[in-house]
Amino acid sequence: MLRPWHYSLVLDKDSSSSIHQQLIGHFRTMIEGGAWLGGSALPSSRDIAQRLGINRKTVSRVYEELSALGLIYTQPKRGTFVSNALPSASNESETYPPLQRQQVDPYSNSIHHLIQKTSLHHIRRAALHMHKLQAHDYDATGLFNLKHMLANLLAHERRFLVSPEHIACGSWLALQYAVIQSIRPEDGLLLADHHTSAVMIKSLQKQGISVIQLPESNGNQAINFTEQIEKYCINYPVAAVWCNSSTLFNNESDAAGQTLLIQKLADYHLLLIDDQRGSFPLSQQNHPPLASKYAKSMMLGSLYGNFCDTFNLCFVASNENLSSEFLSALNEQHQQSSLLNMLAQSELIKRGEYKKLLTGIYRFMQTPDAKLLTPA
């Protein structure tokens, strides 16, 4: 049986980028995006050269650069492996928009012992064997099942009723690119709350989208946020609002503030992009996102919140049909290793291991001495 990298390692002969640049970009995308887990064995330079029909020296030079970046390491007589601890900052990919890295608690890395990597490798191999992936099989049966399971999870855990056909899942790198590509610069400004990362804003601006980041409010954050939106809508053409509604509304008693904000969004026909990726699933503090109450919206979510970078999966859920621009851009970014990751997640959810993992992480985070377990 072929290894997962066989399905994703493809060169574009018509690309303006050199073979060296394509390989660097591909390896960085797979490693930084979490598609290849830390400790995973990589093919030898000879294997890649034979597989792609290229000069072995080119592959060796790629491996040397990746090693210098701290993304891989080589052990004599054993082989080349993905680094367990990736560098905190790396140069931007030449092919894709940069991967957004959210701020997380410094002790969150100590929960990685809860994630059994050997089990995850086994599930990936099982998914690969079960679905016998081909180059055109991105929307395979496993992905169909995953969308339905995500719809059920959203309905039961977040009270967000959405059709499986209105859900797209994959790596955040691919989804970020698709969301940005679906926003048309000519429609107007994008207003972002103060939590939106500088990396995301830079990615939006690279696509020609004019972004205004709204300042943090001292008083009632939700009301001030609504007033700021109305001020810009009166004076400028505004197309969309990017925010994290869980930071605007701390509890369900803020119903009046939610109603007011929804009314303003509707008055000006704005697209709401509710970024909920940082919310920890199954937490008792989770409330229905604002996107669940406003028709023209997209909710960005993550199966593991900020707590599992090595095997995470993000998704976009929309109250409306996903636009053709979004789907087209997402298809451009689809790679078989990403599909393999999603199929494995589907197997995790079906076996009930997903909730067990989340419950274990949540209990760990509630432990008073969790910080004492922080690795040096």
Q: What is the pLDDT of residues 132-145, one digit of tens each?
A: 555 445 555 567 88
CATH of the domain at 10: 1.10.10.10
Contacts of residue 140, Cβ cutoff 8 Å, sequence gap at least 6: 131, 133, 339, 343
More confident residue, 270 or 249: 270
In a domain, 244, yes or no: yes
In a domain, 42, yes or no: yes
Torsion of CA 337, 338, 341, 345, to 10 degrees: -160
3-state secondary structure 127-148: HHHHHCCCCCCCCCHHHHHHHH
List, for residues 46-95, the tens digit of each pLDDT value: 888 888 888 999 988 888 888 878 888 888 878 888 887 655 443 433 33
Least confident of 106-110, 125-129, 166-170, 331-335: 106-110
Phi then psi for residue 167, to 5 deg, are -120, 135
Q: How many domains does the chain have?
A: 2
In a domain, 111, yes or no: no
Domain co-membership, 172 together with 46: no
Phi then psi for residue 300, to 5 deg, are -95, 125
Domain co-membership, 193 together with 296: yes
CATH of the domain at 221: 3.40.640.10
Domain co-membership, 83 together with 161: no
Query: Residue 188's pLDDT band (boundaries 50, 70, 90)?
Result: very high
In a domain, 103, yes or no: no
Express the helix, strand and coil content of the chain in percent, nearest 5 each: 50, 10, 40
pLDDT of 239 higher than 90 = yes
Domain co-membership, 131 together with 216: yes
pLDDT of 363 higher than 80 = no
In the structure encoding, which two tokens stand for residue 76, read together?
């004599």
The proportion of the chain whose per-residue pLDDT surpasses 90, expressed as a percent, equals: 19
Domain co-membership, 126 together with 270: yes
pLDDT for position 142: 63
pLDDT for position 296: 93
Chain centre distance of CA 357? 19
pLDDT for position 248: 83
In a domain, 196, yes or no: yes
In a domain, 102, yes or no: no
More confident residue, 358 or 229: 229
More confident residue, 31 or 319: 319
Domain co-membership, 160 together with 70: no
Compute the mean pLDDT over every residue in the chain, rounded to the nearest whole number.
76
In the structure encoding, which two tokens stand for residue 197, read together?
């990362």
Domain co-membership, 252 together with 296: yes
In a domain, 342, yes or no: yes
Phi then psi for residue 41, to 5 deg, are -75, 135
Query: Residue 232's pLDDT band (boundaries 50, 70, 90)?
Result: very high
pLDDT for position 334: 67
Domain co-membership, 310 together with 192: yes
Domain co-membership, 192 together with 58: no
Tell me which of 44, 71, 91 is where a domain ends.
91
pLDDT for position 373: 40
In the structure encoding, which two tokens stand for residue 117, read together?
């990597």
List, for residues 276-303, the tens digit of each pLDDT value: 888 766 655 567 889 999 999 999 998 8
pLDDT for position 236: 92
Domain co-membership, 84 together with 144: no
Domain co-membership, 331 together with 199: yes
List, for residues 89-117, the tens digit of each pLDDT value: 434 333 333 333 334 343 344 444 555 55
Domain co-membership, 21 together with 144: no
- Domain span holding position 81: 5-91
**What residue spans of 53-166 are helical by DSSP H?**
56-68, 117-131, 141-157
pLDDT of 226 higher than 60 = yes
pLDDT for position 222: 82
**Alpha-carbon distance 110 to 84, whole Å?**
13
pLDDT for position 300: 94
pLDDT of 197 higher than 90 = no
In the structure encoding, which two tokens stand for residue 189, read together?
């400004």
Tell me which of 91, 110, 133 is where a domain ends.
91
Please, is 22 exposed, middle or buried when counting C-beta atoms within 10 Å of its C-beta (0-12, 13-18, 19+)? buried
Please, is 96 exposed, middle or buried when counting C-beta atoms within 10 Å of its C-beta (0-12, 13-18, 19+)? buried
pLDDT for position 90: 39
In a domain, 101, yes or no: no
